[in-house]
Structure 1
Amino acid sequence: MRRRYIYALAGGCFALLLAGCDSDLGTDSTFPTSSRGVVYPAGKPKNDTIFGSGGILGGEDKSLQEGGGSGGGLGVNAYLWRASLDTISFMPLSSADPFGGVIITDWYSSADSPNERFKVTVYILDRRLRADGIRVTAFKQNLDAANQWIAVPLSPKVTGDLENAILAKARDLRVAREGQ
């Protein structure tokens, strides 16, 4: 009984936190475009990821089979997982849980805009490759005159663009895999 109360209280606090971050106050901030499309550094093979050519579990690309592969590999869709990591690879990772399907980045500031920073959380919600199988939340902060980071609301277009980029990459990975 006590555990249920703690879970309900934690869930309510999380819902309030998300509700407070979702408001759009008319700011049409966009994700930095200078890093878009630059997923692979020069000299790194195109099929490589931040975890190496074998992915997070090692070995060959068997983990890209629909539903996460055989043998209990990933707990989420492997195409969405890999596409998410590839799409946000320019940002430093804070944590990545392949079984729960949560990827959290650390704060990222581009060299073009050092007075603003972004943080992204990707939730993979399904083992199937579906448009509603992924949810992205993004946060932005600006540096004020007193060197304090101030939260700035982002438009829903930013998270929608990130979700669409991840879905497009996942579809490309699936088509490439099935073409082999």
Structure 2
Amino acid sequence: MIRSLRTALMVAAIALPLAACGGRGGNAVAKTDLAASKVTTIGVNAYLWRASLDTLSFMPLVQTDSNGGVIVTDWYVNPQVPTERMKVTVSILDQDLRADAVRVAALREVNRNGQWVSAPVAAATTQKLEDVILTRARDLRRASIAG
């Protein structure tokens, strides 16, 4: 799965600058920018997909669907807080690299007397994860255009 994603990103990185070279006039930079924000090899934006995988790499993954744009993690227990665990679902909603194209949902449980009990997740937690994913996606896009 990771190898095919890397291959897709490498193909996109090679093909995007070449796509801007052809055509009938127009602004080549605008075409490159548009092409860099779109995806043709998987169903969702490749930068958001890669950034989501990178951001959640410390958590065990249960499901990944690059065509549907869904990543689901298994429960993760932070070794520094063993009485708490989290489960995250990332949904990529668009082929464009946009702030509203990624949604994070999280579940949190705390251990009370040996039983895992649902606990609220701070809204700032999911917002922070979305921000980290978007920042990483923008960095990946910049690197592909510059390189």
TM-score by length of 2: 0.79
| Runs of 4+ residues deviating >3 angstroms | 57-60, 63-66
Distance 1:109 1:97, change over 3 A: same
What's the CA shift for 1:110?
1.3
- Show the counterpart of 2:111: 143
What's the CA shift for 1:56?
2.4
Q: Would the aligned equivalents of 1:117 and 1:141 in 2 still touch at CA under 8 Å?
A: yes
Distance 1:60 1:131, change over 3 A: closer
What's the CA shift for 1:68?
1.8
- Show the counterpart of 1:62: 11
Provide the C-alpha distance between the structure 1 equivalents of 2:72 and 2:8, rounded to a whole number of angstroms. 24
Q: How many residues align?
A: 125
Provide the C-alpha distance between the structure 2 equivalents of 1:165 and 1:130, rounded to a whole number of angstroms. 13
- Show the counterpart of 2:142: 175
Provide the C-alpha distance between the structure 2 equivalents of 1:86 and 1:92, rounded to a whole number of angstroms. 12
- Residue 91 in 1 paired to residue 42 in 2? no
Superposition pairs for residues 21-170 of structure 1, below 5 Å? 51-52=2-3, 55-56=4-5, 58=7, 61-63=10-12, 65-69=36-40, 73-145=41-113, 147-170=114-137
Distance 1:142 1:103, change over 3 A: same
Q: Would the aligned equivalents of 1:63 and 1:74 in 2 still touch at CA under 8 Å?
A: no
User: Which structure dedicates a bigger proportion of its chain to strand?
Assistant: 2
What's the CA shift for 1:104?
0.2
> 3-state DSSP class of the match of 2:94?
coil
Provide the C-alpha distance between the structure 1 equivalents of 2:82 and 2:122, rounded to a whole number of angstroms. 20
- Gaps in structure 1 of 5+ consecutive residues: 1-49
Q: Percent identity?
A: 46
Q: CA deviation digits over 1:48-70, x for unaligned, max 9?
A: xx824xx526366124653223x
TM-score by length of 1: 0.65
User: Which structure dedicates a bigger proportion of its chain to helix?
Assistant: 2
Provide the C-alpha distance between the structure 1 equivalents of 2:9 and 2:94, rounded to a whole number of angstroms. 23
Q: What amino acid is the match of 1:173?
A: L
Q: CA deviation digits over 1:69-106, x for unaligned, max 9?
A: 3xxx2100000000000001000000000000000000
- Gaps in structure 2 of 5+ consecutive residues: 14-35
Q: CA RMSD in A?
A: 1.7
